[in-house]
Chain A
Amino acid sequence: MHELSITQNILDIALRHAEQAGASRINRINLTIGQLSSIVDDSVQFYWDLISEGTIAEGAKLTFKRIPTELLCLDCNQKYIPGVDELVCPNCGSTHIKIVAGLEFFLESIDVI
């Protein structure tokens, strides 16, 4: 349940950028979250509604662009999306792997007026 502190950070970043841009209202927050980042969308939205109250971001919609985990086998160059209980390369069984996607965790943009 670290969504409260996460949400607070999202709000802080969004308000700072909106102020810099001279915006009067934030309508939408666009987040990019890799699958390996453990964040529950509904919880973030729930906390958002509470903590954004009274700010120019009150009522803003949160969108979550989810990036699936993608691994690259460094032995046979196979790119793959791992299964739920398997991580080794499905092609050659290697554990010599690089994580190429899934660790993203950032605020991409905000829509403002």
Chain B
Amino acid sequence: MNRRIPVIEKILNANDQLAAQNRSQLDASGIFSLNIMASPGAGKTSLIECTIRALLGELRIAVIEGDIASTIDADRAAVAGATAIQINTGGECHLDAAMVSNALKQLDLGNIDLLIVENVGNLVCPSSFRLGTHQSLLIASIPEGDDKPYKYPGMYQGVDALVINKIDLLPYVPFRMDYFRQGVEVLNPGLVTFPLSCRTGEGLEKWIEWLKLQIIMV
């Protein structure tokens, strides 16, 4: 006989549970972890390079690089001075908690203060999959356009901090900062935001200051 069984279960429950395990593991090792998300080309790897260089000698940094293919990003992070692990997702458009859990097994967690996870370049899928990191950062960039909060609300809604990269291009690109920020404010009220340029270094100091504060607070 046909019958209906109530379920009411979050579809990504299994991922969320594994993410919570990742978090406990990171907490137990006293590591602060950051999930960086952005569209391709927004400057995730560039910001990671700048961040590593600014904190080198002060903190022990590891980077988990998520990409569909290649080790280009892990190589860049290693050159900048971090321990880097590359995850090739083999076509998957996002990292999930299981991939990060596997990457954690390859790291010497007792010798890390800051773990940066660079997600796959994508403004849709990564926002649905929690990884267990302490905070998540979204990087927007001026050439992407000012309409992105309106087009990708899920991504803007779920992050803890926002970097607006490539502000050195503002004179050359039509980008209504007010319109952009209005959209952000609706989706994520009071979101801490850092306008900066990885190329010129403008604004980087504030970002590094904030990041250091987060690390101390863990």
Contacts and interface: CB of A to CB of B under 8 A. Distances in A.
B12 A97 contact: no
A12 interface: yes
A88 interface: yes
A6 B11 contact: yes
Nearest to A99: B157
A91 interface: no
Main secondary structure of the interface of B (DSSP, over half): mixed
A9 B7 CA distance: 13
A38 B128 contact: yes
A42 interface: no
B10 interface: yes
Interface residues of A, number: 42
Given A2-B125, A2-B129, A36 B157 contact: yes
B11 A9 contact: yes
Given A2-B124, A38-B128, A87-B182, A108 B154 contact: no
A17 B5 contact: yes
A98 B166 CA distance: 30
B106 interface: no
Contacts of B6: 108-109
Contact of B7 (A1, A36, A69, A109): A109
A46 interface: no
Interface in B141-192: 147, 149-150, 153-154, 157, 182-183, 185-187, 189
Given A13-B9, A107-B7, A113-B2, A97 B14 contact: no
Given A2-B93, A36-B154, A111-B2, A14 B11 contact: no
Contacts of B187: 87, 99
Contact of A27 (B2, B14, B124): B2
Interface string A51-68: 000000000000000000
A96 B149 contact: no
A27 B6 CA distance: 14
A95 to B, nearest CB: 4
A101 interface: no
13 contacts: A2-B129, A5-B92, A9-B13, A13-B7, A17-B5, A36-B154, A37-B154, A87-B150, A87-B187, A109-B6, A109-B7, A112-B5, A113-B2
Interface of A: 1-2, 4-6, 9-10, 12-14, 17-18, 21, 23, 27, 30-31, 36-38, 69, 71, 82, 84-88, 95-97, 99, 103, 105-113
